Structure 1
Amino acid sequence: MKESTPLLPGATDASGRPATLGVMGGGQLGRMFVQAAQAMGYATAVLDPDADSPAGLISHHHIRSAYDDTEGLARLAALSDAITTEFENVPAPALAALAAQRPVAPGAACVAIAQDRAAEKAHFMRCAADGSGVRPAPYAAIDTPEQLAAVADDLLPGILKTARLGYDGKGQARVKDRAELAAAWDRLGRVPCVLEKLMPLRAECSVIVARGANGDCVSFPVQKNTHHDGILAVTEVHEGAIEPALARRAQAATIAIAQQLGYVGVLCVEYFLVDDGQGGLDLVVNEMAPRPHNSGHYTQNACDVSQFEAQVRAVAGLPLRPPVQHSPAIMLNLLGDLWFAPGREAAVTPPWDALLALPGTHLHLYGKASARPGRKMGHLNITGPTVAAVRDTATKALALLGLPPL
């Protein structure tokens, strides 16, 4: 990332052009970044090929081009003073090309590591060796038939994951033995994969940090996450959700991962909580996302600085201060399935009026034109004065939506 002085909100250049933040990607994370940037006084520019992209619809500028289109990238660089990304699969060479002209956060090298599970796990192992103390699950990289045959017996049963382009449970398969492993690798197209040993999972959590180009790094509270079918369903951030000592370890490990990457921007690292064999729990690092994360959406209503404002601050070179959570919080992910009652093919709007009548509810919809099963349409943040109050409201909200209880 090119060094620069802070880009101040509301500033203009000699031609009168307002300070502008660019974002690669026009999905919901880009939309919420744009909203945070605009609230602080920045103009915004989005590059996304979809004319109806959620972020593009509300940005000052929407560049409709492919992520590796030379002209589109040149246009984004010309409009923007600093640039970020809202999804991890943006081409790393495109970020490198932009970085030759403008500050880009996160940088191409960091994003490239997050795009490859084998490189990501190797980075986690280096961090553990250097003192973070939190390792990934035992694993083996599988690129060739010879590596497949050489897999250690104690990695089975395990989970086979494609090294690239897997998300929300896609591109992976559980395997019990060598026959299932070989069949799964065939089904996945014999692309480079990582086999992870199946761990005695008790819970999942994540940590979001923001790091500036000057090395300052701040952490949000640890989030306890519940997934359904590989997709995040519920995030809980309150006293009692995660044992304090484990939470401190997870935060310290996440900061170490960001610092050793030389990362700039917002980074989320996901962890497994597993049986330690002695009646307690231990941490295992799973994966990282070089961007804001679903599990951090609660920060919009429960913290004095949201993950998206933190992203704006990091990208613009503004001071980062430790976020303060002022309310217990639960976040419910709202998928397109909610629009389709059993046995009905036509979409029906969920009962937002009844949900918003509940205390401490904050609805965030992403501006997507149509709902479909599995599509992320929005989220509901729930805050309140006590953990009991928040959990009670969440229980009622889940019942109204026809979703599984906490």
Structure 2
Amino acid sequence: MSSKPLPPGSTLGILGGGQLGRMLSQAASRLGFNVVILDPEENSPAGRVSQGQIVAAYDDPTALRVLGQTSQAVTFEFENVPAASVAQLAQGGALVAPGPRALAVAQDRVEEKTFLNSVGATTVDFAVVDSVEDLIAGLERLGTPALLKTRREGYDGKGQIWVTSAAMAADAWHSVGERPSVLEAKAAFVRELSVIAARGRDGQIAVYPLGENIHSGGVLKTTLAPAVVDAATQGRAEAIARAVLEGLDYVGVLGVELFDLGNGDLRVNEIAPRVHNTGHWTQDGCVCDQFEQHIRAIAGWPLGPTKAHAQVEMTNLLGDEVEQWRALAGEPDARLHLYGKAEARPGRKMAHVNRVKGLG
């Protein structure tokens, strides 16, 4: 990949028109780039703040060709974009970042865990499950409770179920649609942490301070950042992020979710080859947030500073919680980030609010 930076006025393509694409587009605009979105939904949140939108399926060959020919670099906002589409863009000569390998690894939980362990980013023990017999054998080896997840497409608690005994194996297998899955041993963690890191086209790496995450119903509710961790824990997280970035020859921002087992002992839960919900705090806690950082990386610009200048509590607003916007807008230390989604369905991410405090 060329390290020659793209000048302002270049066009960037983004696969995906949701809130992450919207915030990426806004960051790109601040740096003087034009943005074209590819998304099947007309009038998408990202499309409304961009130069243009191609309304088509992510695997539409004509749309991909037009996007690749229009854009000097192409990226994506979420990992369920077909890896074949990213490969097609790259084969057509488009500069695509992150590359198709990172996407393919992150889309399959078995491939992901195998890769992570190969680069020293240790995960919990796991078993491949392709049948109810595999599930029973996995439970015997890993013990109960254990978490059964589909290998592909699950997110925000979807496509997974805790299995508490071998007697519920058949029901659990049915509940995930009898699809290829992975069984994960339970992690005896004291909290969940995450690290947001970036790698530029020249191999430069920048890592943000750790965040501590609180979930509700399988969905991230709050991130507190910078997390209260010792230097050894931060150092270990940075080493994990570096190993993943270099192992994938990655370009862009990456999210790494971690189980903190205590005393700096970390296990990787999963990686996200994109800007990440747990990095939203950087918008109001750092000079260069994760969205600008991603644009800098894929455009070949120098990476920005990652030091925190404030303590931030990021809270997701789900469904009709977004109706609190008036009260939140009146809080002096709150920064409200609305996603421009028309329908506030239950559990849908509609906005987030960053409550900013001094570092003391």
Same fold, judged at TM 0.5 (above) = yes
Q: Do structure 1's residue 106 and structure 2's residue 75 form an aligned pair?
A: no
In the TM superposition, what is the alpha-carbon distance from 1:281 to its structure 2 partner?
5.6
- Mapped contact 2:255–2:274 kept (Cα < 8 A): yes
Pairing partner for 1:194 from 182, 185, 188: 182
**Deviation of 1:53 (Å):** 1.2
Rounded Cα–Cα distance in structure 2 between residues aligned with 1:151 and 1:384: 46
The answer as to whether partners of 1:124 and 1:136 remain within 8 angstroms in 2 is yes
Measured against aligned partners, the alpha-carbon deviations of 1:149-184 in whole angstroms (never above 9, x if no partner) come to 432524121000000001000000001122223321
Give the counterpart of 2:296 among 305, 313, 326: 313
TM-score normalised by the chain length of structure 1: 0.85
- Whether contact under 8 Å (1:359, 1:384) holds in the other structure is no
Q: How far apart, in 2, do the equivalents of 1:293 and 1:142 lie?
A: 28
Q: 1:71 aligns to what?
A: 62
Structure 2 residue 45 is the aligned partner of structure 1 residue 45: no
The reply to whether residue 82 of structure 1 matches residue 40 of structure 2 is: no
Q: Please say if residues 13 and 35 of structure 2, whose CA atoms lie closer than 8 Å, have aligned partners that are also in contact.
A: yes
Partner of 1:54: 45
Contact 2:132 2:170 in 1 (8 A): no
Q: Is the 8 A contact 1:224 1:242 kept in 2?
A: no
What is the match of residue 403 of structure 1?
none
1:102-136 superposed Cα distances (whole Å, 9 cap, x missing partner): 110011111000000000000111011xxxxx411
Contact 2:3-2:201 at 8 Å conserved across structures: no
Runs of 4+ residues over 4 Å off in structure 1: none
Give the letter for the 1:266 counterpart.
V
- What are the Cα deviations for residues 177-201 of structure 1, in whole angstroms up to 9, with x where unaligned? 2222332112212211110011223
| Normalised TM-score (structure 2) | 0.95
Unaligned regions of 5+ residues in structure 2, if any? none
CA RMSD of aligned residues (A): 1.6
Q: Contact 2:135–2:183 (CA<8 Å) still a contact in 1?
A: no
Whether the aligned pair in 1 keeps the contact of 2:337 and 2:353 (CA below 8 Å) is yes
How many residue pairs are counted as aligned between the two chains?
Answer: 358
Match for residue 340 of structure 2?
367
| CA distance in 1 between partners of 2:240 and 2:359 (Å) | 29
Distance 1:147 1:353, change over 3 A: closer
1:336 aligns with 2:319: yes
- For the residue of structure 1 that corresponds to 2:48, the secondary structure is coil
Judged with a 3 Å threshold, the aligned counterparts in structure 2 of structure 1 residues 109 and 117 are, in CA distance, closer, same or farther, namely same
Give the counterpart letter for 2:299 in structure 1. Answer: A
Identity across the alignment (%)? 46
Shift of 1:4: 5.3
- Mapping of 1:232-243 within 5 angstroms? 232-238=220-226, 241-243=228-230
The 8 Å contact of residues 4 and 103 in structure 1, kept in 2 or not, is answered as no
- For 1:32, the equivalent position in structure 2 comes to 23
CA distance in structure 2 between the partners assigned to 1:263 and 1:66 by the alignment: 25
Decide whether aligned partners of structure 1 residues 371 and 248 sit closer, same or farther in structure 2, where only a CA change above 3 A counts: same
What SS is found at the alignment partner of 1:151? helix
Residue 329 (structure 2) pairs with residue 378 (structure 1): no
- Conserved in 1, the CA contact under 8 Å of 2:21 and 2:77? yes
Q: Does 1:174 align with 2:182?
A: no
Does the CA contact (< 8 Å) of 2:282 and 2:288 recur in 1? yes
Q: 1:180 to 1:146 in 2, by over 3 A?
A: closer
Q: Please give the per-residue CA displacement for 1:254-309, whole angstroms capped at 9, x wherever unaligned.
A: 1111111111111101011125xxxx462111000000011101111110101000
Partner SS state of residue 89, structure 1: coil
1:148 Cα shift?
3.0
Deviation at 1:146, TM superposition (A): 4.8
Q: Check conservation: 2:3, 2:202, Cα contact below 8 A.
A: no
Report the Cα offset of residue 213 of structure 1: 2.2
Task: Tell me the distance in 2 between the aligned counterparts of 1:197 and 1:149.
Answer: 13
Deviations 1:51-93 (A, max 9, x none): 1311011110100000000111111112111000000010011
Determine the structure 2 residue equivalent to 1:248: 235
| Contact 1:117–1:163 (CA under 8 A) maintained in structure 2 | yes
What SS is found at the alignment partner of 2:127?
strand
Give the alignment partner of residue 93 of structure 1, picking from 84, 91, 99.
84
Letter aligned with residue 378 of structure 1: A
Taking the aligned partners of 1:301 and 1:186, their CA distance within structure 2 comes to 44
Which residue of 2 is the match for residue 222 of structure 1?
A: 210
Q: Does 1:290 align with 2:273?
A: yes
1:6 aligns to what?
Answer: 5
Q: Secondary structure at the match of 2:53?
A: strand
Contact 1:160–1:181 (8 Å) recurs in 2: no
The Cα shift of 1:145 comes to 4.7
Question: Structure 1 residue aligned with 2:119, among 99, 109, 127?
Answer: 127
Instruction: Give the AA of the match of 1:356.
Output: A
Look up the SS of the partner of 2:119 in the other structure: helix
Is the contact made by 1:269 and 1:285 (CA closer than 8 Å) also made in structure 2? yes
Letter of the 2:135 counterpart: L
How is 1:201-212 mapped onto 2 (pairs within 5 angstroms)?
201-212=189-200
Question: How far apart are 1:356 and its partner, in Å?
Answer: 2.9
* 352-361 or 210-219: bigger deviation: 352-361
CA separation in 2, counterparts of 1:194 and 1:95? Answer: 25
